[in-house]
Structure 1
Amino acid sequence: MVLPVALLGAAAAAFADEGQWQPHQLPQLKSELKRVGITIPAEKLADLSKHPMSAIVSLGGCSASFVSPDGLIVTNHHCGYSAIQRNSTPEHNYIVNGFLAKTRAQELPGGPNTLVYVTEKVENVTDRVLKGLSPNLSGKERHEQVESRIKALIAECETDKAYRCTVPAFHRGLEYYRIKQLMIRDVRLVYAPSDRIGNFGGDIDNYEWPRQTGDFSFLRAYVGKDGRPADPSPDNVPYKSKDFLVVSSEGLKNGDPILLAGYPGRTSRYKLPSEIRFARDVDYPAKVASITADLSVIAAATMGNEAYDVRYASVVKSQNNVLKKTQGLLDGFARKDIAAIKDVQDAQFRAWYKQNGGANKNLLAELDAAIAADMTLSRQEFALSEATHSDLLKNARTLYRLALEHTKPDAKREAGYQERDVSFIKARLTRLEQSFVASVDEARFAAALKRYAKLDPKTRPHGLDALLPAPGAIPALYKSTQLGETDKRLAWIGKDPEAFRKSDDPFIQLAVRLQDVAGAVEERRKEVDGNLERVIPQYMAAVIEWKKSQGKPVYPDANSTLRVTYGTVSPYSPRDGLVKGPFSTVQGILEKATNKDPFIVPQALTQAVNEKRYGVYKDPVLGTVPVNFLSSADTTGGNSGSAVMNKRGELVGLNFDSTYESITKDWYFDSAITRAIHVDIRYMLWVMQEVDHADNLLKEMTIKFPKK
């Protein structure tokens, strides 16, 4: 049962503000946008070449937007964190002290991993990916044929090397779209406030409300003098963006509409009850235990050494964020039995399918079998990740795999190891020098091997145990390897597999030994994925038809592609007798101040609040400067840095978090408690003016002030 594309954009009845919509679906949501109060024509929002969508960009994991014609980009502080950390030293600690380039010449290199992607074209290529696939193919054969077609579509799209193209699946493999993005490689750090503003509250306040976090930073995109993407060079010039967002300091009030555009990462709204229970009972608890243990090891290994702290700051920040989100998911599953809710929906769907289903009478049985196989393999993959939890070993495995793949024609190489991927591999290998200390990595690897040894033997990949180093042998690995040196790591790129097999470097030797076992796990993954890719699209087509018959919204799960969501500024009630308002203010910063990290407040900010230097950023209702606000918009990871716009498409905020009660929205959208947290743009502008004196950037942006 394959549905026409038009059905996938079926207009939703008023079901709160749920939905992470593809831009081309928006014209069919006119009534919803009008209900909320958005005045931008839906057809304009669907056009990637027109304002405001032409100003929305991806950072490859975060979202951002152009705010000047000279390539100035605003995003979250935590999205610019790797660039901030990269340029920080104990002597010039831009994490703690902040950074501001008063001139273009003072802007700092973001590093090879800091990239900007401008989406220019999205086209449906479903037929070219799926048409004519034989139903008799094995799972592995089907998966490889689909991958081969996707690689051909990408190669066809990337004849101009200024572009990066992808072909992600939508609706769990029911549709495929080819996405063409201009990839800008020279990105520089322009401005970031101190993390005592940009990360105020730290991990304690993460996912909590109220927040008072100025989670913003500025980058700039540079290109060659011909206007095309180029490698970093002092001769490059600022990118002339086709469009940019006007910044509005008018502000919002409770109930006002907002529009949010960005690149949400992953959601699982259409997963089955069995998949939820696996996440709840197996996958997430294992992840929480592993990350918690790893963070403890890092803390002990870096204790008392400021240089080590700087090196691992980004790693720890990222790990803590994943940990709190995963724990929040577990708490959310405990608070509301989403699996039971899905049981009811699943039973209703299965009853409907028996009456209205397509030709495949065995679909549901095939579906359950494919998912069960996926869960079994996922446990082995987790075990393998624990057994190889070393940055040096990961680098060695990547290098050896690259050598193996490069013995094949480029079109036959595995995705991620083709010629188009070599620059990214080099960037990852180079970036390790920012976040690596041999003694810390050694401690992490030794601890991970101990965790692996405690796993159920049935979940360990066959033959892996005998290949792993004994605990007592680990120090010798680090003493003898040269992979800790960046130039020595990079020197392995281009060498043939035989050079790896003859190497006396202990991590290279270990990577070679592990390849067969890891390769066997990967081959089983292809078989499992191929079977999932055969059966789940059939299931999704039926689910979509079922939901449409009920008038319910139909949108694909998030998959890191450009999406639009909408909502209103809204309070919420996390539990009986408690209502949390939609705004926090600068007074809350001083109330939380303890003079101990993460609640240290810069003196300049304290003074500005005490002197009530609010100026045009004072909210007429609150009587002070708002810091953060809540909305009912549907967001997830990857939406960090997303532009929050008012009804006219003007920038009024930056998305950066969700409330703790909202974390389970990745699996189930509960309109009563799902709230996204945004930086109020008035606070950003106020900090820039009163605290950091970023006058050059305030002049560069087009700022719309309220009428007096």
Structure 2
Amino acid sequence: MKKIILSLITAILLVPTTVKADEGMWFLMFIERLNHRDMQKMGLQLTSEEIYSINHSSIKDAIVQFNGGCTAEIISNQGLVLTNHHCGYDAIAEVSTPKDNYLRDGFWAKDKKAEIKPNSLYVRFFVRMDDVSKRILSKVTDSMSEAEREKAINQEIAKIQKENDEGGKYTVSVRPFFQGNEYYYFVYQDYKDVRLVGTPPESIGKFGGDTDNWEWPRHTGDFSMFRVYADKDGNPAEYSTENVPLKPKHHLPISLKGVQENDFAMILGYPGRTNRWMPAGGIEQNVKFAYPAWVEGSKTGMDAMKVHMDKSDQVRLNYASKYASVANYWKNRQGMIDALTKFKTADTKQKEEAEFNKWANKAENKQKYGAVVETINKYYKATNEKSRHDNYLISILRNSSLAGGPASLGNGIAAYAKENDAKKAEMLPRLQAAIEGVYEGFYLPLERDVLIAELNLYAAKAGYKLDPFVEGLAKENNNNFTKFVDEAIAESVFATKEKAEAFLKNPNPDALKNDKLYLLSSSILATYRSKPEEVAKLENDYQKSFRLLVEGLRESKLNKIKYPDANSTLRLTYGKVRSLPADKRNDAKINNYTTLQGTIKKYKPNDQEFDLPKKLIELNEKKDFGQYADKKGYMPVNFLTDNDITGGNSGSPVLNGKGELIGVAFDGNIEAMAGDVIFDSKLQRTINVDIRYVLFIIDKYAGAKHIIDEMTIAK
């Protein structure tokens, strides 16, 4: 342990400390040296050991990654978990039926026995991390190709994982940072018995829908609640009625004090992906080629889905999560296009790269860095059109189960048919599970229309080198795939779950040779996975040059970023409650919070996005807010901070200087959509659910005070 601590201290001392206090997604192991003093000046009252400790309980023990894509926090000594409604959306939809529609009506377990277990849901606790940069980079040389480099690194990663997983007790992940110039390992423990405790109805949890998504002012109760269960000894276990609520090492106390402008705010979570080292050429490619195709492909799929979702509650339930995910990124990518264009982010990067190029071509730097910018620009110029094509193609695969499913199932069943009985017995459960996965919630009329619409769009707009199978069909059918898709569905063994299961029972690989859905799916996947030799060579040179660009920018100090890009590892960001300029759409006195009265003003009866439950309106009319009202009398709903977050931070706890929970992060403002590439301290805002609104909904609206009673509340 002493060796580990000494290595950490050495690494910390080597890193400069100058940085804007509200910018950065920081490793917890570095906060003592890099951030603690700044945080104290802003209002932090905790020691760094109280935030991150390897040997003692600390705040990090209450932060979990939720189902691989969001963040959540433990808020009671009985394993109660709080996250966003949109993070729990898939699980809530899974356990809902048209009769018991928990998405529409909400759900509150009256006791622990009534809590519901979704099929696949887990939380991941962070145990510890360490720097293994020297160890891994000692295995590579400058003469290696990127493929050789990757192989050597992966071999060492496998050793590190085995050394630290304690025989499978832990999950160990070794991740690259600063474009492969540093490496750290992370140790996690996963709990798979996670049950639904409570959720408000969509009219609260998703109030504002797609219209308000990424917008401020916001009035959304975006939260849901779950519970982690363990065996009697507190260890992870598969679902069992014998399991008991987890007794966590730490749970977050909750503050009812509320927030004011300039209050300290700290967020811990698992931000998914930022690209703040992205070259100018990459930004230009996204803005002009990749993202427009992504936006158009997403909207095409959404429109086709919505026609059928509006006609059937069951179809809407089955596709609710998929539609919400597509819609979220559709608006996000359009916001990225607008923000990156408006603020000329590529121009800013080009200026930085021009300065770097001058430095790189000095005599002492030229051999290593001289060709870096030229190589990077050459790559983007050669792949711009391909990036547009690929995003149209990905839209087919992302939005249509009939695009990728038939090939993966067909190949699996064909391999199964050739095996002996013993091997078949081993393979059969996996294939059955794969069929379940492809056809879960599957509605053929919707899938048909999505596939037709996406193929029509791809053939008309993708350009570059179209998938050869699709290109041939487009010429035959004048870019209208309706006839082909209808014929393919009528004949294919993959048109429905029942047909796929029948094919598995009596597999005939020769039948795949004439199965049009299988042939289409196979060709699309082959095109998606293909990498022409000239592109592979360009990519190899680009990867090396990008790594050198980041190394050189740090060495030359031309880029001041001292924290690594987000990559779904636990980070801390700190800032303050901070308003935006006054907005007449917000009834709040200061434009850093919203109220329940403002929510009511948006109310539109029977509207899919802006309807509200009658009881909520009545509670507002009576001012029946209980202990959760602000001291000025209003019921708070959402508030703003200037924390540096991104996707994956959804559900992250917002903490005050004492480490008490004051809110739950759930969104960002669309004006700052360039934030994943370049941080703007004037525009960047995090939108949070006020914890008082969360408790008000649980207690006064849902009448679930027994859930409140297990929390630790600081008044």
Match of 1:234 in 2: 241
Cα-to-partner distance string for 1:287-337 (whole Å, 9 max, x where unaligned): 111111111111223342222122111122111111111111122123221
- Residue 258 (structure 1) aligned with residue 268 (structure 2): no
> Quick one: which of 89, 108, 132 aligns to 1:100?
108
CA distance in 2, matches of 1:523, 1:435: 40
Which piece of structure 1 moves more, 668-677 or 345-354? 345-354
Match of 2:353 in 1: 346
Q: How does 1:319-334 map to 2 (within 5 A)?
A: 319-334=326-341
- The Cα of 1:554 is off from its aligned counterpart by 0.9
Match of 2:490 in 1: 479
> Quick one: which of 23, 37, 46 aligns to 1:31?
37
What SS does structure 2 have at the residue aligned with 1:557?
coil
Say if 2:396 and 2:403, in contact at 8 Å, map to a contact too: no
What SS does structure 2 have at the residue aligned with 1:118?
strand
Match of 1:50 in 2: 57
Match of 1:76 in 2: 84
- The Cα of 1:29 is off from its aligned counterpart by 1.6
Match of 2:288 in 1: 281
Say if 2:412 and 2:431, in contact at 8 Å, map to a contact too: no
CA distance in 2, matches of 1:512, 1:501: 14
Match of 1:86 in 2: 94
Say if 1:39 and 1:648, in contact at 8 Å, map to a contact too: yes
- Give the letter aligned to residue 393 of structure 1: A
Say if 1:383 and 1:459, in contact at 8 Å, map to a contact too: no
- The Cα of 1:265 is off from its aligned counterpart by 0.9
CA distance in 2, matches of 1:31, 1:677: 26
Say if 1:332 and 1:663, in contact at 8 Å, map to a contact too: yes
CA distance in 1, matches of 2:43, 2:117: 41
Q: 1:403 to 1:325 in 2, by over 3 A?
A: same
Match of 2:223 in 1: 216
- Give the letter aligned to residue 206 of structure 1: N
CA distance in 1, matches of 2:503, 2:581: 56
Question: What runs of 5+ residues in structure 1 fail to find an aligned partner?
Answer: 407-418
Say if 2:638 and 2:687, in contact at 8 Å, map to a contact too: yes
- Give the letter aligned to residue 325 of structure 1: N
Q: 1:36 to 1:484 in 2, by over 3 A?
A: farther
- The Cα of 1:493 is off from its aligned counterpart by 10
**Structure 1-normalised TM-score?**
0.87
Match of 2:27 in 1: 22
Q: How does 1:143-292 map to 2 (within 5 A)?
A: 143-151=150-158, 153-154=160-161, 157-158=164-165, 160-292=167-299
> Quick one: which of 620, 644, 651 aligns to 1:609?
620
Match of 1:416 in 2: none
Say if 2:62 and 2:248, in contact at 8 Å, map to a contact too: yes
CA distance in 2, matches of 1:401, 1:522: 23
Q: 1:243 to 1:507 in 2, by over 3 A?
A: farther
Say if 2:470 and 2:520, in contact at 8 Å, map to a contact too: no
Cα-to-partner distance string for 1:404-430 (whole Å, 9 max, x where unaligned): 999xxxxxxxxxxxx9xx999987764
Match of 1:539 in 2: 549
CA distance in 1, matches of 2:501, 2:179: 37
What SS does structure 2 have at the residue aligned with 1:172?
coil
Q: 1:466 to 1:234 in 2, by over 3 A?
A: farther
Q: 1:402 to 1:260 in 2, by over 3 A?
A: farther
Which piece of structure 1 moves more, 593-602 or 50-59? 593-602
> Quick one: which of 618, 630, 636 aligns to 2:629?
618
Q: 1:458 to 1:525 in 2, by over 3 A?
A: closer
- Give the letter aligned to residue 363 of structure 1: V
Say if 1:73 and 1:221, in contact at 8 Å, map to a contact too: yes
Which piece of structure 1 moves more, 552-561 or 139-148? 139-148
What SS does structure 2 have at the residue aligned with 1:534?
helix
Q: 1:580 to 1:275 in 2, by over 3 A?
A: farther
Match of 2:562 in 1: 554
CA distance in 2, matches of 1:506, 1:230: 44
Say if 2:339 and 2:673, in contact at 8 Å, map to a contact too: yes
CA distance in 1, matches of 2:82, 2:245: 15
Q: 1:399 to 1:449 in 2, by over 3 A?
A: same
Match of 2:311 in 1: 304
Match of 1:649 in 2: 659
- The Cα of 1:5 is off from its aligned counterpart by 7.9
Which piece of structure 1 moves more, 691-700 or 115-124? 115-124
- Residue 682 (structure 1) aligned with residue 692 (structure 2): yes
CA distance in 2, matches of 1:231, 1:443: 39
Match of 1:439 in 2: 445
Match of 1:365 in 2: 374
Match of 1:598 in 2: 609
CA distance in 2, matches of 1:588, 1:576: 11
**Structure 2-normalised TM-score?**
0.87
- Residue 564 (structure 1) aligned with residue 572 (structure 2): yes
CA distance in 1, matches of 2:429, 2:243: 19
Q: 1:107 to 1:147 in 2, by over 3 A?
A: same
CA distance in 2, matches of 1:137, 1:466: 41
Match of 2:422 in 1: none
Which piece of structure 1 moves more, 430-439 or 648-657? 430-439
Match of 1:415 in 2: none
Match of 2:674 in 1: 664
Cα-to-partner distance string for 1:466-520 (whole Å, 9 max, x where unaligned): 5899722322333344546668868999999x95986876544554555654443
CA distance in 1, matches of 2:101, 2:124: 28
- Residue 381 (structure 1) aligned with residue 390 (structure 2): yes
Cα-to-partner distance string for 1:547-571 (whole Å, 9 max, x where unaligned): 3x78x34111111111100011011
- Residue 448 (structure 1) aligned with residue 458 (structure 2): no
Q: 1:93 to 1:367 in 2, by over 3 A?
A: same
Q: 1:147 to 1:696 in 2, by over 3 A?
A: same
Cα-to-partner distance string for 1:394-448 (whole Å, 9 max, x where unaligned): 2334446778999xxxxxxxxxxxx9xx999987764555542111111111111
Q: How does 1:388-537 map to 2 (within 5 A)?
A: 388=397, 390-399=400-409, 430-460=436-466, 465-466=471-472, 471=481, 472-483=483-494, 507-512=517-522, 516-521=526-531, 530-537=540-547
- The Cα of 1:692 is off from its aligned counterpart by 0.4
CA distance in 2, matches of 1:515, 1:233: 39
What SS does structure 1 have at the residue aligned with 2:259?
coil
Q: 1:78 to 1:320 in 2, by over 3 A?
A: same
Which piece of structure 1 moves more, 425-434 or 530-539? 425-434
- The Cα of 1:43 is off from its aligned counterpart by 4.2
Question: What runs of 5+ residues in structure 2 fail to find an aligned partner?
Answer: 1-8, 417-425
Say if 2:139 and 2:152, in contact at 8 Å, map to a contact too: no
Which piece of structure 1 moves more, 198-207 or 116-125? 116-125
- The Cα of 1:464 is off from its aligned counterpart by 6.3
CA distance in 2, matches of 1:8, 1:366: 34
The two structures, once aligned, show a CA RMSD in angstroms of 3.5
Say if 2:295 and 2:334, in contact at 8 Å, map to a contact too: yes
Which piece of structure 1 moves more, 14-23 or 568-577? 568-577
- Residue 629 (structure 1) aligned with residue 639 (structure 2): yes
CA distance in 2, matches of 1:382, 1:177: 31
Which piece of structure 1 moves more, 302-311 or 251-260? 302-311
- Give the letter aligned to residue 638 of structure 1: G
